[in-house]
Each structure stands twice: as structure tokens, then as C-alpha cells.
Structure 1
Amino acid sequence: MSASSDQKKRSFPGIEDVGDPPMAKKRVGEAGKRRHIAALILARGGSKGIPLKNIKMLAGVPLLGWVVRAAVDSGVFDSVWVSTDHDEIGKVAEAWGAKVHRRSTEVSKDSTSSLETIQEFAGLNPAVDVVCNIQATSPCLHPHHLKEALALITQQGHESVFSVVRRHNFRWLEVKKGGGACTEPLNLNPAKRPRRQDWAGELIENGSFYFATRQLIEKGLLQGGKMAYYEMLPEYSVDIDVDIDWPVAEQRVLRFGYFGMDKLEVLKLLLCNVSGCLTDGQLYMSAGGEDMVSVNVRDEIGIRMLQREGVEVILICSSGSPVSQALADRLSQRTGCELKQDVGLSQVEALMKPRKLAWKEVAYMGNDEEDVDCLTLAGLSGVPRDAPVVALNATKYACHSGAGQGAVREFAEHILLLLRKAKAKMEQDRIRRDMF
């Protein structure tokens, strides 16, 4: 890290009433007024490269969800906003904890610049003093990146800070002469090509985020004044523009993405809906008139994997489910899980109370509208691939597998992967503390 419209103004609910964040004491301006620092993610619905790219699932999470989660969990913003012109994007934004700025048609065109959209937001929200424009297409953003970059403004007095990555690429200028194509070196002497270890490389904008004060934005600038850069490591510098970027980004985010692991260090309980998660939601009938359901053996194994790691699993069956009480009891016996009937938000909290659990210690797997509250509040939540949109918008992980086709096993493996990552991070932190 180094320093080197004609629209009537309207206010949005909650922007004046946000409680003091952790860095509040360091945000006092010249007039003694605490500055309001807002995160703003631009997510237009009309992407030409990848339709509705901003809410397409990436490693089980809507693309937009990765950066909203990092912004919210950073704890340094007074408000986190998503600027959009699309209803479904707005629903996903709210499900992940952001407010929605419904942008005007004037700044929702293909030709509209990011700066014009940010200027509209700033003009309609005069309480905001500093804006952090976060790119929705940067899914490997972590809370600590935002905390450290903002400190350059709040503690060192910079007016703009933007993210960069160090690259060791030799660049050449295309020169067209006499109908042919030739080239000239831009940043090297071909006769003395430096070794990588002898060259510091160049700083390239990675587009992850841009902090700027209101004064700069009103002048038509995102970079200017007393300016600094924040250097991110290459593994976190991921950008998605076209379809070919998607599989590469998915592999990178699984390894380097921020999963909210601080919330998963103590995950102790999984609540799983039987119908639509363990089963495909269908009820079969034998020739003798007996009710039957299909359960994937892989899902049972997934439950046992969690149990072996000390995670309690409770099955949920609602009275309106096609799965009868007798069949649910049978599933409970096979998996060794407690079975609860008609469990909603209040019942889940009643289960948590005697176990002395907070929501961050609870995982929830559901499949429909009745599960939305729990999917939103749980430290980690999941739904099968074929869940309705209302559940997909609320969840923190969407499985590649369908209901009754291994979705529970997949979600169990996802939980265990994150738990292992969280434990490894805790051990690394312990080693660092011991060293210093």
C-alpha cells in the first residue's frame, strides 16, 4: 500500500439514521462534522456481454453478493448501496444487506459513464461525504482491502484512493506504417530485457474500487486532489467482462474469495427442510397405495459428514409438505437427526436459545418463500438449484445440484470447506501473533 440532473432531490430511508460505525471517531472533517462514507455498487441490468451478469451465480453466490458481503462485513461504511435500473438486481441487493438506489433512465444508457451515475447518487444524497465505487465484477474483494484503503482517507487525509495490481508485463505500441504493422517498445529496452526479480513492475488499475470525496465527484473526478493508490495482490485482482472470464473467476473465487469466514468459525447447527431439499418435493404412490419419496444416498452421507465434524443437523417438515409424518420420521431415523414440524423464524430462534447460539453459528437450507427469513439471517444458507427465485435471491449459496439430487451433500461439502478455511486462517493468525 502506498500514497503516490434536472431530477428533484430525494432522500432515501435510513441514510440519516445510521449508527456510528467502528471508525466514526476518525471521520471528523474540518467543521467538526462526522463524515458519512457510503459504498456504491453500480449494477445496470442491460449488460451486453453477459445478460444480467450482476446476479448470475458465481461459485454458488450471485456475482453482486460477493462485493456486497465484503462491503457490509468491512464495518467501515455508514451505508452500502446498489445503483440499478432492474427489479431483480434490486431484490438480490436487498437480500445481501444493501440499500437500493433506483437510478434514473438518463443514467441507465449504454453510453452512460460510471461517473455520471455516481454524480446522480451524490446529488440525490447530500448527506454523503465520501463515496466508494465498488465494481460488482470484482468477486475476490475482501473487507480488509476496503478498511486499509479507507484509512488513507480518514487517517492520512487523501481525497481519492483507488485499487491497483502490480504487473510485470512488457508493453509494445502498435505503429502502422506504409500499410504494414510494426511496433515500438513502451516500457523496456529490448537490448537489455530485465529479469523479473530486477524489475519492480508497473501499477495497473484493477478496477476493484475507487474512493473519492464529494468535492471531487462534483468536479467530475474520481481520481484527483491528494491521491493515493492501494495495491492488491494478483490473486485478488479478478475482473469479469465476457463469458470466457467466468470459469476462471469461479476457480479463483473458490480459493481466494471472501466467504464471511469470521462468521463460520463456530458453525454448530444446520437446519434442513426435508421436502424440496432432501427430496425432490414429489410424493410417489405404490400399487398398494403406500406413500413413497425418493432420497439420494449422497445427501445422507453429507449429513453424516457434518455430524462427524460436530455440526448438529435438525430436519424440518411442514404440515403442508407432501412428505408425510411417517416418512419424515423414517428419514430422521436413517440420518440420526432430530425432526421438527412446522418450523418458522420464531421456532428456529426458540431452538437456538437453549443451545445459546447466535445466527452466525447457524446454517439453514430451505427451498421456498417460507424459508426466506431464515435464509437471510443464517450465518450460511443454501438452496437447491431448482429453488424458486424468491429463495435464490435470499440465499448465500445456490447449489449446482437439484432437490433430491445431491444438493444437501453439496451444501454439506461447502460448509466443511469453509470451516476448514476458517480454522486454517485462525491458525495462521495465531502463528503471526506468536512470531511478533
Structure 2
Amino acid sequence: MIFLSMRDLLVDCVFAFNYEQFGTPQKKMIRKKISNDSQTVVRTPVDGGRAPEGCSNRHDTNEEEAAVRSGFVSTNSFFFISCGAIKDQMPPRKRPQDGKKVDPPMKKAKGKHVVALILARGGSKGIPLKNIKKLAGVPLIGWVLRAAHDSGLFDSVWVSTDHDEIAEVAKSFKAKVHRRSLEVSKDSSTSLEAIQEFVKDHPDVDVVCNIQATSPCLHPDHLSEALKLITKDGYDSVFSVVRRHQFRWKEVNEGGSEVTVPLNLDPKKRPRRQDWDGELVENGSFYFSTTSLIKKGILQGGKMTYYEMKPQYSVDIDIDIDWPVAEQRVLRYGYFGKVPPEVVRLMFCKLSGCLTDGRITISSSEEEMVSFHIRDMEGLRMLKSEKVEVVLLNCSQDPIGQSLVEKLGVRTGCQVLSVGKEPLEDLQPFLKKKKLEWKDVAYMGNDGADADCLNQSGLSAVPGDAPADAVKAAKYSCHHAAGNGAVREFSEYILLKKQEAKSKREQVHVDCLDSGYATPSSGSQNDIPLAVEGK
């Protein structure tokens, strides 16, 4: 890629982008800009790179002059655009003033009682009890409950269920439980019937957001933007959709005389993907509706509209084969809470029950011995190489002998602290001395006594064999057991989240085209690299 200097171009700023990465609306705007400007010159690379439709594929003898005049230059299918060339075509955007954000987080709707409702029946046929099955270390339903709570939009968050285990998991995520009746818990029962029963039992509710438990990549901002359509724009119902580029054909009976026909294309004029807007289909993530519609037996009706989600956030789990795919997707695009994982600067890890399996062996000479896995030692080394300080904790409830503690400290190269029954209180002075807060900390514990630390930490985990009260408090539950790779697994998880956050910071959101200036990236699939050079 060739980067042209600002001294040559004499424009305020220049950025490079890959035309093929844009969504359909942005491509239309680019083509319109080029077709309306008779002076536009786009240089087509000799290796076959395409210029946008409507643009002259000719070479200009003075490309830098052409770039200044039109704002567009192409090299190897990447196009350089002066921000002014796009900004002239777009309405002005309100910029931050006096340090205030343009779009502050939405608060609860005034005058309306808005609730989130997640339906979680215990009789799932595809995957038994899939709503509480662990996905990337978190119960499936926990992903959407976390997003709903952190959005700050709802007067209350509810789980409608007929199963005791699901109810307990819901409560551990601070959700209220609505015990649905047997009449709406059958295999033949519909979601609408369960929602109507909830509305009947809670007549004070004005708006219900039915969130699907099987949509683990839902984020608070998705819910916030959708609710605005009801509270500010006056819509009665809003539902989530995703854009798909799939050609559909009519299904015919095998062996019959009927032939198939296309449903959404003309085979004689088969469009290229980038020239077709695609179709909007429901992705099932959420449905907002007023209770007046629900009482009439309608979930989508009245003045209704949709909220379009990006494909990477549109995940729906229905069968076991979806699980590994969803797990990889949620590790990359899932919502992990208000605290960005990249701020983790310190990791607390308990010795007994995390780094070791909790057993102490006594030899014939009455020497105490513990064992650890070499993979876990490598995990600690990986963290320290990425400038994450590691502190090992020796608990008074299950203490390891002082001689062993000293040997482990030397072997791992980590500081070892002693803590009592309340690790949170014991560690607070240490954090204060380091000038750190709990949001800057990753914590690995293995018992109920660690619950407060697990809850308060920016990232937290427990081994795969930890008791239920510790699992409920942790943000991540390892597949590996204590002393057998759990520490390595959590270390890799921490580094993965740090790397993803770093990658997102290095990208710029496609909204720069909509506004005429660059904005910080939110990590969408349409984010593009930005090469900026200027005064």
C-alpha cells in the first residue's frame, strides 16, 4: 500500500480503506460521490484491483493532483479518501463539547415500567438444560442476564422458568424468578403464552423485553439503542434482525414433477454480493413490546420497527453442534462486563486448590509434599512476560507449610501472601499500596470464602472441580481441574482478552464515513485500519 504524505496532498487528513470491507449503505454513498463528481479519477492497479462501480478505471498522469481535486485515489484495491470529500456529502455530526460524550448511556425510561424477561424452560429437547450449560465458563443464560443488568435500562430483570436449577442460576445472576405454570411449560407451549402469563401476574409493567437465553453475544448497547425506538420514537414493538446475503429457492417434493424456482433473485441477472443489499431476517436475540399488544396476543404489531445487529453478534444455539462454534464466537464478541479485561495488571492465585490439587502428602520422614503441573507454571510465566504481576495466596484455612511456601515462591518467582478467612479484607491494604482497584485484578479462587474477591475482580475464575458457591461467584469456570492445568487455562483466557482489546483499540469504526471524522472503534466487523497523517 502506498501512503501519500500530507505535504503532497494538501488536505486535512487522508485515510486508506478496503472498499470490499464496507457495508452496502457505505458503498452506495461512495459510488454516489464518485458518479456525481466528473473530476474524480481512480487509479486501477495493474494486478486487477477493482474500482467502485461508477468510477472511471483510467490512470491520471498527475495522481496527487487528482487526489486533491477529487479526494479519491486507489492503490491495490485500497482507496485513499480525504475526509473532506466524504464530509461534504454528509450532514454535520454533533461533536463532544466540554468533555461530554455525544451519546451518553441511556437511563431508565421515565414514566414507563420496563422489564427484561428471559424464558428458560427446563424441558429443552435439543440440548438438555441448555439454558444453564456452561458456555466459555459461564452458564448460557448468564451471558444475557449480565448484559441486561449492566444496561441499566430495566426496572427489574426476570427469568421465567419451571425448573429449580435454572431458578438458582438466575438468582446467582441477581435476576428475579417468575415460576411459570404447568399450562405454559408444555412442549407445545409458545413463548407468547409464557409472556402473557407474566404480564397477567405483573399488571404494573408497561414494556417487556423478551431476551432469548440462546443469544450469548448480546451487548447492553444493543438493548439501549432498541429501547430508544420505543421510549423516544414512539414505536410499539421492536425486534432484532440480522442482514443475510443468501439466495433462496422454493422447496419441492423429492420425486415430484414440480421444479424449483428462485424466491429472491433473477438467475439471469444474478447480482454480486457487494451489489446486493441482502435481506433482513429475525435473529431472535430480543423482542420489545408494549403490554397492551401482548394482552391482545401480539408480540410484533402496532407501530413496529426492527433493530439491525451485526452478524458477529447474531448467535443462536439450538443443537449440540452449535456449541463449539458459539464458544469461539462468544470468546471474541461476547459481553464480559463493564470492566474492560485489558486493565488487568495483577493476578491473585490461591496455592492450595488452584495451583495445586489441594492434597498434601506426608512422606515416611514426615516431610510434607505437594504437586503442581508444569503447564500451570508455564501459564504464570506467560502472564509475567506480559507485565501482569502474579501473587500467590496461602490461606490459613488450608495452609501449606512455610518451607513448602518458600520453595514454591522461589520456583514460580512469585510473591506469596498469607490470607485468613476473609481474603477481601486481607488483600485490600496490599491493593492500596499498589494503587490498584479490584477492577484491575484477576482472581483465581476455589471456595465460598473467595466469593467476594471473585465478584469484585475485573476477571475471576475457579477450577473445574470447584464447589457450587464459588462457581456462582466467578466470571469464568475452567474446564481443567485444580493442579491439572486450570491456572494455565485462566492465564490464556486473560491474555486472550487483553489481545482482543488491544486489537479493537487499533481499529476505527466505519462510522467515520457516516460522520466525516474518525471515531474510536467498537470492534465491529466493518472496522477499518486508519492511516492518518496531517497538521
Alignment TM-score, normalising by the size of structure 2: 0.71
Cα drift, residue 135 of structure 1: 0.7
Cα drift, residue 180 of structure 1: 5.1
Query: What secondary structure is seen at the aligned counterpart in 2 of 1:408?
Result: helix
Rounded to whole Å, the distance in 2 between the matches of 1:177 and 1:341 is 70
Which residue identity does 2:377 align to in structure 1? Answer: E
Q: Partner residue of 1:383?
A: 462
Rounded to whole Å, the distance in 2 between the matches of 1:241 and 1:362 is 35
Conserved? CA contact 1:141–1:258, under 8 Å: yes
**Of 148, 152, 163, the match for 2:225:** 148
Cα drift, residue 289 of structure 1: 2.2
Matched, 1:410 2:489: yes
Rounded to whole Å, the distance in 2 between the matches of 1:97 and 1:417 is 27
**Of 372, 376, 396, the match for 1:295:** 372
Gaps of 5+ in 1: 2-20, 29-33
Q: Partner residue of 2:322?
A: 245
Conserved? CA contact 1:22–1:76, under 8 Å: no
Which residue identity does 1:341 align to in structure 2? Answer: V
Distance 1:145 1:22, change over 3 A: closer
Mean Cα deviation higher: 180-189 or 250-259: 180-189
Rounded to whole Å, the distance in 1 between the matches of 2:460 and 2:300 is 38
Query: What secondary structure is seen at the aligned counterpart in 1 of 2:260?
Result: strand
Q: Partner residue of 2:143?
A: 66
Distance 1:404 1:132, change over 3 A: same
Q: Partner residue of 2:296?
A: 219
Conserved? CA contact 2:464–2:482, under 8 Å: yes
Conserved? CA contact 1:361–1:379, under 8 Å: yes
Rounded to whole Å, the distance in 1 between the matches of 2:489 and 2:252 is 53
Q: Partner residue of 1:424?
A: 503
Conserved? CA contact 1:261–1:421, under 8 Å: no
Conserved? CA contact 1:270–1:363, under 8 Å: yes
Mean Cα deviation higher: 403-412 or 283-292: 283-292
The percent of aligned pairs where both chains have the same amino acid is 64
Conserved? CA contact 2:124–2:130, under 8 Å: yes
Cα drift, residue 356 of structure 1: 4.3
Conserved? CA contact 1:314–1:340, under 8 Å: no
Matched, 1:23 2:100: no
Query: What secondary structure is seen at the aligned counterpart in 2 of 1:231?
Result: strand
Which residue identity does 2:405 align to in structure 1? Answer: A
Q: Partner residue of 1:400?
A: 479
Query: What secondary structure is seen at the aligned counterpart in 1 of 2:454?
Result: helix
Distance 1:109 1:355, change over 3 A: farther
Conserved? CA contact 1:278–1:295, under 8 Å: yes
Distance 1:104 1:407, change over 3 A: same
Query: What secondary structure is seen at the aligned counterpart in 2 of 1:161?
Result: strand
Cα drift, residue 108 of structure 1: 1.9
Distance 1:83 1:287, change over 3 A: same
Could you report, residue by residue, the CA deviation over 1:83-108 in whole angstroms, capped at 9, with x for unpaired residues?
22222222222323323223233322
Matched, 1:333 2:333: no
Question: What is the number of equivalent residue pairs in this alignment?
Answer: 411
Conserved? CA contact 1:328–1:339, under 8 Å: no
Which residue identity does 2:228 align to in structure 1? Answer: A
Q: Partner residue of 1:136?
A: 213
Gaps of 5+ in 2: 1-22, 24-103, 520-535
Rounded to whole Å, the distance in 2 between the matches of 1:131 and 1:66 is 19
Which residue identity does 1:392 align to in structure 2? Answer: V
Conserved? CA contact 1:142–1:258, under 8 Å: yes
Which residue identity does 1:347 align to in structure 2? Answer: D
Mean Cα deviation higher: 137-146 or 321-330: 321-330
Matches within 5 A, 1:340-355: 340-342=418-420, 343-355=422-434
Could you report, residue by residue, the CA deviation over 1:101-146 in whole angstroms, capped at 9, with x for unpaired residues?
2323332221221111112222222332211111111111122211
Mean Cα deviation higher: 214-223 or 424-433: 424-433
Conserved? CA contact 2:394–2:416, under 8 Å: no
Could you report, residue by residue, the CA deviation over 1:253-299 in whole angstroms, capped at 9, with x for unpaired residues?
22222223643242233221211110111122223221101012222
Conserved? CA contact 1:261–1:419, under 8 Å: no
Q: Partner residue of 2:437?
A: 358
Matched, 1:306 2:383: yes
Could you report, residue by residue, the CA deviation over 1:374-430 in whole angstroms, capped at 9, with x for unpaired residues?
223322110111222332232211112211111111111111211222233344469
Cα drift, residue 322 of structure 1: 6.1
Q: Partner residue of 1:8?
A: none
RMSD across aligned C-alpha pairs, in angstroms? 2.6
Q: Partner residue of 1:373?
A: 452
Matches within 5 A, 1:278-293: 278-293=355-370
**Of 505, 518, 526, the match for 1:435:** 518
Rounded to whole Å, the distance in 2 between the matches of 1:88 and 1:125 is 23
Distance 1:211 1:394, change over 3 A: same
Rounded to whole Å, the distance in 2 between the matches of 1:356 and 1:114 is 50
Query: What secondary structure is seen at the aligned counterpart in 2 of 1:223?
Result: coil
Distance 1:425 1:195, change over 3 A: closer
Could you report, residue by residue, the CA deviation over 1:206-252 in whole angstroms, capped at 9, with x for unpaired residues?
00111111111111111111111011111111111011111111222
Cα drift, residue 51 of structure 1: 0.9
Q: Partner residue of 2:247?
A: 170
Mean Cα deviation higher: 57-66 or 425-434: 425-434
Instruction: From the CA coordinates, give the structure whose radius of gyration is larger.
Output: 2
Matched, 1:56 2:133: yes
Q: Partner residue of 1:235?
A: 312
Rounded to whole Å, the distance in 2 between the matches of 1:319 and 1:303 is 23
Distance 1:348 1:225, change over 3 A: farther
Query: What secondary structure is seen at the aligned counterpart in 2 of 1:66?
Result: helix
Rounded to whole Å, the distance in 2 between the matches of 1:155 and 1:39 is 18
Conserved? CA contact 1:313–1:338, under 8 Å: no
Mean Cα deviation higher: 194-203 or 258-267: 258-267
**Of 181, 184, 205, the match for 2:282:** 205
Q: Partner residue of 1:15?
A: none
Which residue identity does 1:380 align to in structure 2? Answer: L
Which residue identity does 1:193 align to in structure 2? Answer: R
Which residue identity does 1:237 align to in structure 2? Answer: S
Mean Cα deviation higher: 330-339 or 155-164: 330-339
Conserved? CA contact 2:136–2:330, under 8 Å: yes
Conserved? CA contact 1:92–1:394, under 8 Å: no
Rounded to whole Å, the distance in 2 between the matches of 1:92 and 1:177 is 46
